[in-house]
Amino acid sequence: MKSHPTQAFSLRIQYAVLVLASGLVLCAISPASAQMMQQEMGPGPHMHGADGTGHDMINMPGLQGLNATSEESRQLAVMFSNYETITREVTNLPNGIRTVTRSSNEDVMADLISHVFGMIQRVELADDPQIFIQSPTLDIFFARGDSIKTQIDVTDEGIVVIQTSDDPEMVEALHVHAAEVSAMADRGMEAVHEMMMQRASN
């Protein structure tokens, strides 16, 4: 294992728990957002864009949010556009998850770390960004974020994250969302579209 000598880097890594590491923002669309997107596209048949949601990959409006910054949306777009560079392994623990996440692209990894830092701060402050494609699985994270205990390290493998909780509902949410994020790391926006349609049909 390697540790970085600077305090600033250590601070950043302490927050590197979220997207594609433990999975807290890249997510399947909620039923309300699905309805909003349906209304936005209007009635009748539609040609889906390259992102699989009916939107183009340049603007990616679904990655914006009611309480998100333009920089947060940009970082999400970078990760979705470069999902093929991202790999991850997830182990479900009885009380949480262990994940190992990496990107073969240094620029993508930098955006990942920066995004993670901001999202963990949001969870600690219960400050939901309300990303339009955000999964309802995340609601509990912003409501009870103080119940999550996190351990993290940076190794030659990538970002290694262990998140645990004494709250059974939080543990279930960690398991569910870790699977959602793994699907998106594998298939990008195609996975978002699949989860969107599944939620809309429920």
Alpha-carbon gap, residue 104 to 84, rounded angstroms: 9
Q: Which residues contact 23 (CB under 8 A, 6 or more apart)?
A: 99, 177, 178, 180, 181, 182
Report the length, in residues, of the chain. 202
Q: CA–CA distance from 95 to each of 5, 153, 165 (Å)?
A: 31, 19, 6
List the single range of 4-18, 128-142, 157-171, 176-190 with lowest mean pLDDT.
4-18
Q: Quote the tokens at residue 138.
A: 């995340």
Q: What is the rounded distance in angstroms from the CA atom of residue 110 to the CA atom of residue 14?
A: 15
Q: Residue 50: pLDDT above 70? A: no
Quick: pLDDT tens for 118-159.
887 888 889 999 988 888 899 999 999 999 988 877 788 877
CB 145 within 8 A of CB 48: no
Task: Report the pLDDT value the prediction gives residue 21, as an integer from 0 to 100.
Answer: 46
Say how far apart CA 59 and CA 156 lie, in whole Å.
Answer: 34
Q: Is the pTM of this model over 0.75?
A: no
Split at pLDDT 50, 70, 90, the class of 199 is: confident
Neighbours of 61 (CB within 10 A): 13
